[in-house]
């Protein structure tokens, strides 16, 4: 496997359907997650082995994609488009007739970044370029009762996180934000509504203006820009968009109409790193700000996020906590550590993750060979 035989080599695309219990249940306005289930992809050819992670989950609650649609799109469409190992941009061009399904595309796009970087012996961070050498790190805290949230915020402040984000939902925003601000008058603080409000709630959201928040993340509908622009005109708190920004052209449109001044970039949401880098540049050129979000990734997906978050254009602290916040044991043997609210990206090659194959197998319910071929 992976050796050249008579001028050809075997190539293989496999996936592990894994299940990992989260150390802490994570509650957003759309529900509580107690475990992370999803797919790790592995591409091996010519002695090079690359990995990526799909950020979908069991249910289509954050976006319309879920684990089942992603596997379908990857197996039935995307896997046949990578048999000659296109570079990530060429791959995106090739799959551009497939509407949406960005999380499925991202899993393969990032697999190709890792594959090419590992093959050439360069780190993903140096391939991306324009790095600052480290990522600034904030934390995303799920909803619980108020004392539990205050205690989580307190631990996070002590751990050195550079920004605290708390989840809110309709009817809970005042009590959560007032309690956190009361206890931590100076901490850089933001809130994430995960689409729970509508424009008619602008008065309620306006009451958050007094708390000196860095931004309100995704208050309105997942595919909305127009109402966010109307809301932005009524609030002094800046608006950050997450779900609504699905690619770089949506980012341009959002700035054009004043729907946001901040973007949470998740490579998984925008079909991978190519669009992520473009969005970061757009934010900078438009005088806005951006940061890198997370989807409770294992160490494999996390490493891509950290490399992106280390780029100079990414000027705000992201939701890229070290691995130990999520899982008792991760599927990589070299988890990230945070020092003074900073994480240094791996030195590579590729994302630099060292996958614990035995542990990955032990948390895998199903392993599939999606495709194998002579390359």
Residue nearest to ligand OSB (CB): 294
Contacts of 186 (CB under 8 A, 6+ apart): none
227 to 256: interface string for ligand OSB, x by CB under 6 A: ---------------x--------------
Residue 296: name its binding partner from ligand OSB, Mg ion, none (Cβ under 5 to 8 Å by kind).
Answer: ligand OSB
Contact 35, 22 (CB under 8 A): yes
What are the residue numbers of the active site? 167, 266
What is the secondary structure of 224-283 as a DSSP string?
A: -SHHHHHHHHH-SSPEEESTT--SHHHHHHHHHHTS-SEEEE-GGGGTSHHHHHHHHHHH
Measure the CA dihedral 156/158/159/160, to 10°. 100
Name the strand (E) or helix (H) holding 373: strand 364-374
* Least Cβ distance, residue 247 to Mg ion (angstroms): 17
Owner of token pair 């999380």: 103
* Least Cβ distance, residue 162 to ligand OSB (angstroms): 14
Owner of token pair 């990206």: 345
Closest to ligand OSB by CB, 81 vs 166, is 166
Q: Which of residues 68-107 bind ligand OSB (CB under 6 A)?
A: none
Contact 303, 123 (CB under 8 A): no
C-beta neighbour count of 81 within 10 angstroms: 18
Residue 166: name its binding partner from Mg ion, ligand OSB, none (Cβ under 5 to 8 Å by kind).
Answer: none
Residue 102: name its binding partner from ligand OSB, Mg ion, none (Cβ under 5 to 8 Å by kind).
Answer: none
* Least Cβ distance, residue 49 to ligand OSB (angstroms): 25
Closest to Mg ion by CB, 88 vs 268, is 268
* Least Cβ distance, residue 195 to ligand OSB (angstroms): 9
* Least Cβ distance, residue 53 to Mg ion (angstroms): 18
Closest to Mg ion by CB, 91 vs 291, is 291
Residue 65: name its binding partner from ligand OSB, Mg ion, none (Cβ under 5 to 8 Å by kind).
Answer: none
Please give the Cα distance from 69 to 83 (Å, whole number).
21
Please give the Cα distance from 147 to 109 (Å, whole number).
42
Give which of 304, 301, 359 is closest to 326, Cα–Cα. 301
3-state SS, residue 202: helix
Please give the Cα distance from 247 to 266 (Å, whole number).
10
Examine residue 319 and tell whether it contacts ligand OSB (CB under 6 A): yes
CA angle, corner 133, sides to 52 and 212, nearest 5? 90
* Least Cβ distance, residue 288 to Mg ion (angstroms): 16
Binding part of the chain for ligand OSB, among 44-52, 144-152, 225-233, 289-297 by CB under 6 A, reads: 289-297
Residue 316: name its binding partner from Mg ion, ligand OSB, none (Cβ under 5 to 8 Å by kind).
Answer: none
**Residue of 73, 295, 355, 363 interacting with ligand OSB (CB under 6 A):** 295
Examine residue 296 and tell whether it contacts ligand OSB (CB under 6 A): yes
Residue 140: name its binding partner from ligand OSB, Mg ion, none (Cβ under 5 to 8 Å by kind).
Answer: ligand OSB
Residues that bind Mg ion (CB under 5 A): 192, 217, 242
* Least Cβ distance, residue 218 to ligand OSB (angstroms): 7
Examine residue 62 and tell whether it contacts ligand OSB (CB under 6 A): yes
CA angle, corner 159, sides to 157 and 162, nearest 5? 55
**DSSP letter, residue 345:** P
Peptide bond into 349 cis (omega under 30): yes
Interface with ligand OSB: number of residues (CB under 6 A)? 11
Examine residue 192 and tell whether it contacts ligand OSB (CB under 6 A): yes
Examine residue 194 and tell whether it contacts ligand OSB (CB under 6 A): yes
Q: Which two tokens stand for residue 38?
A: 């999803």
Footprint of ligand OSB (CB under 6 A): 62, 140, 192, 194, 242, 293-296, 319, 321
């Amino acid at each position: 496997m992976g050796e050249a035989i008579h001028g050809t080599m075997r190539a293989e695309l496999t996936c592990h359907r894994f299940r990992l219990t989260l150390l802490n249940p994570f509650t957003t306005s759309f529900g509580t997650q107690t475990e992370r289930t999803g797919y790790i992809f592995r591409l091996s050819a010519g002695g090079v082995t690359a990995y990526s992670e799909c950020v979908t989950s069991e249910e289509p609650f954050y976006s319309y994609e879920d684990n089942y649609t992603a596997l379908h799109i990857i197996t039935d469409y995307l896997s046949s488009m990578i048999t000659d190992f296109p570079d990530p941009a060429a791959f995106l061009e090739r799959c551009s007739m497939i509407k949406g399904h960005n999380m499925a595309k991202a899993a393969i796009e990032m697999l190709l970044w890792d594959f090419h970087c590992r093959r050439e012996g360069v780190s993903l961070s140096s391939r991306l370029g324009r790095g600052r050498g480290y990522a600034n790190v904030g934390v995303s805290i799920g909803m619980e009762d108020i004392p539990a949230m205050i205690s989580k915020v307190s631990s996070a402040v002590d751990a050195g996180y550079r920004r605290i984000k708390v989840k809110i939902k309709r009817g809970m925003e005042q009590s959560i934000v007032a309690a956190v601000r009361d206890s931590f008058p100076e901490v850089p603080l933001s809130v994430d509504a995960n689409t729970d409000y509508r424009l008619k709630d602008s008065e309620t959201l306006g009451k958050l203006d007094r708390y000196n928040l860095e931004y309100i993340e995704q208050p309105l509908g997942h595919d909305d820009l127009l109402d966010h622009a109307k809301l932005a005109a009524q609030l002094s708190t800046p608006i950050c968009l997450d779900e609504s920004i699905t690619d770089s052209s949506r980012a341009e449109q959002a700035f054009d109409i004043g729907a946001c001044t901040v973007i949470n970039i998740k490579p998984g949401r925008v079909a991978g790193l190519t669009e992520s880098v473009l969005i970061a540049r757009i934010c900078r050129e438009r005088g806005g700000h951006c940061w890198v979000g997370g989807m409770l990734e294992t160490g494999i997906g996390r490493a891509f996020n950290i490399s992106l978050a280390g780029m100079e254009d990414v000027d705000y602290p992201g939701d890229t906590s070290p691995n130990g916040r999520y899982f008792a044991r991760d599927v990589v043997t070299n988890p990230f550590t945070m020092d003074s609210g900073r994480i240094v990206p791996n030195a590579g090659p590729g994302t630099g993750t060292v996958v614990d194959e035995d542990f990955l197998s032990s948390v895998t319910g199903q392993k599939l060979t999606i495709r194998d071929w002579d390359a």
